[in-house]
Structure 1
Amino acid sequence: MKRFEFDPDGDVAEDIRTKYGHDSDLLKIYAGTKDVQVNKWHHYIPIYDRYFSPYRGKPIKMLEIGVKKGGSLKMWREYFGDEAIIYGIDIDEKCREFDGQAAQVRIGSQDDPEFLDEVVDEMGGVDIVLDDGSHVMQHIMASLMALYPRLSNGGLYAIEDLHTAFWPGFGGGLKSRGNFFNRVRRMVDDMHRWYHDGKPTFPQMDKAISGIHIHDSMCLFEKAEIPKPTFSRVK
């Protein structure tokens, strides 16, 4: 990872503006973070802003998997505003110290469906999930299968740091069946099962994916109820 690290004395905001032609409130919030630690890949900032900006200023409910130093929760609080309900989960007991600051923090595992259900129940539902947890393939899938059915229609499920899909230490590998992107391929098949005879591989997401977006190390799912496609000719 060292070969990707940005010069600690460099200008983060200028690097993102120059490389990606991007300037936004989120960039200012991220680059201007003080007192708490937050670390993100620079190309994530414009991606986040592209997909998350429609939810700003609304009483949305967001769950972030992975709390770490608490900086990301603080960033999202500033970005989404006071009306948002924001929760973070982590297995590290030390993360309790961040509870009640920028967000509510609960301690538990992202691959425990009962724990995830309890958190979503406490939140009163969930509109955005951001998985920045263990980055282990089986944990990513466990969270997705448990939380996607609980995601509201019109909601968004984002998974980041998916470069680990190519690392054996995280259950992945370039040719590995466990590579998350190989599972995404089957999710694409499920999206199109109106046009083939196969059964859904992931019934938890059946007829509820309106879009799948893949970026470098990130995958985002848009949820909506999908009616049967209709074709017409208009003269």
Structure 2
Amino acid sequence: MVRSKANAMMNSKSYQAYQNSPYKSKKHSTYFDVYDTLFTPYIGKDITFIEIGVLGGGSLFMWREFFGPQARIIGVELNPEAKRWEQEGFEIFIGSQSDPDFLENLAKQVGEIDILLDDGGHTYEQQIITTECLLPHIREGGLLVVEDTHTSYMEGFGFKSRSFIKYATNMVDRINKRFSKLVSEASEKRVWGIRFYESFVVFEVNRKATSVASAPTDNGGKDLDAKDFRHADNQAYEQFLNKSQSMSALKAIPGMRALARLARHLIALPSDIKRSKRLKEYF
């Protein structure tokens, strides 16, 4: 099994491009299948591709080989030494991905973006602000891809009540509020859909689709007046729920959950608390 998985990775087009890059790059072994799935439709096309986090330069050459010479490959990096890659024909922008002014200026200079790949600092603040600022600049049919989202389950990347995965799942709630019986001002129309992979969150932009009003339809077929059994098993579910709740005795102890939340808050770093307040508007 391990050998077959290794062979699959070896046959991946993105993995081959990764291996052929003349400069160092680091990627997890599970990423290449995701890259191939998401990015293969763009190969050989005249696209604008931006990657955030490119200091070593290896990924720039990887994406140039993967997409082909028609692709415009742009790197965003905080370290000014990355400017060296302009000599290789890449466009490089130096600035912080957690700075909205920098991101807006980037979008203004670059124009519409087909694919944005966030492989930057992986803090929740960086990931959320990058997504919020650049989603409006993704071209119709384009993708905003955030990788290394496993940091949402790790220490040292921000206040966990404001993690990137929580932000993304909140957006899922807002996408579903486009449904006709749930429509509200909180519905999400910048994003058509969101895909989750291991360590990846992918935002798909299709504004035409999000503008379609949700309404029930009927194909006009013959109606046999079949009895609706959809809710016939509600009683069994209620019994299961009651049994599950009775097994959670510890959680039922008064004050236990509040005590746990207080403990998490007390051990949080001051910088995490500051970032958490900054991100509150996105939750």
Change over 3 Å in CA distance of 1:160–1:63 after alignment to 2: same
Deviation of the 1:194 alpha carbon: 2.5
- Sort the Cα spacing of 1:224 and 1:78 in 2 relative to 1 into closer, same or farther, 3 A: same
Q: CA deviation at 1:20?
A: 7.8
Superposed CA deviations along residues 14-65 of structure 1, whole A, max 9, x for unmatched, are x7862584523222212333x3001101110010110111111111111111
Greater shift after overlay, 185-194 or 19-28? 19-28
Aligned partner of residue 42 in structure 1, secondary structure: coil
Q: Give the length in aligned residue pairs.
A: 214
Letter in 2 for 1:211: G
Distance 1:36 1:215 in 2: 27
Range 221-230 or range 132-141, more displaced? 221-230
Of 5, 21, 25, the residue aligned with 2:13 is: 25
C-alpha separation between the residues in 1 aligned to 2:14 and 2:62?
Answer: 8
Distance 1:233 1:198, change over 3 A: closer
1:179 aligns with 2:167: no
Identity of aligned residues (%): 31
- Write 1 or 2 for the structure with the bigger share of helix: 2
Q: 1:85–1:123: 8 Å Cα contact kept in structure 2?
A: no
The answer to whether 1:118 aligns with 2:105 is: yes
1:64 corresponds to 2:48: no
Distance of aligned partners of 1:199 and 1:177 in 2 relative to their CA distance in 1, 3 Å threshold: farther
Distance 2:132 2:92 in 1: 22
**What stretches of structure 2 of length at least 5 have no aligned partner?**
222-283
Report the AA paired with residue 223 of structure 1: V
1:64 is aligned with what amino acid? E
Structural mapping, 1:186-205, within 5 Å: 186-195=170-179, 196=182, 198-200=184-186
Equivalences for residues 44-63 of structure 1 within 5 A: 44-63=31-50
The separation in 1 between residues aligned to 2:176 and 2:3, in whole angstroms, is 36
Q: Who is 2:114 aligned against?
A: 127
Report the secondary structure of 1:99's partner residue: helix
Counterpart secondary structure, 2:156 = helix
Counterpart in the other structure of 1:8: none
Structure 1: give runs of 5+ residues left out of the alignment: 1-14
TM-score (normalizing by structure 1)? 0.84
- Indicate yes or no: 2:74 matched with 1:87: yes
8 Å contact kept, 1:135–1:170: yes
Change (3 A) 1:210 1:197: closer
The answer as to whether partners of 1:73 and 1:102 remain within 8 angstroms in 2 is: no
Deviation at 1:68, TM superposition (A): 2.0
Task: Label 1:28 to 1:122 Cα distance change in 2 as closer, same or farther (>3 A).
Answer: same
Give me the whole-angstrom Cα distance separating, in 1, the residues matched to 2:7 and 2:103. Answer: 35
Take 2:45 and 2:116, find their aligned partners in 1: how far apart are those partners? Answer: 16
Q: Tell me how far apart the structure 2 counterparts of residues 198 and 207 of structure 1 sit (CA, whole Å).
A: 11
Contact 2:111 2:137 in 1 (8 A): no
Which amino acid counterpart does residue 20 of structure 2 have in structure 1?
G
Match of 2:272 in 1: none
Give the Cα–Cα distance (whole angstroms) in 2 for the partners of residues 140 and 100 of structure 1.
Answer: 29
The partner residue of 1:147 within 110, 134, 149 is: 134
Equivalent residue number for residue 231 of structure 1: 216
Larger Rg: 2
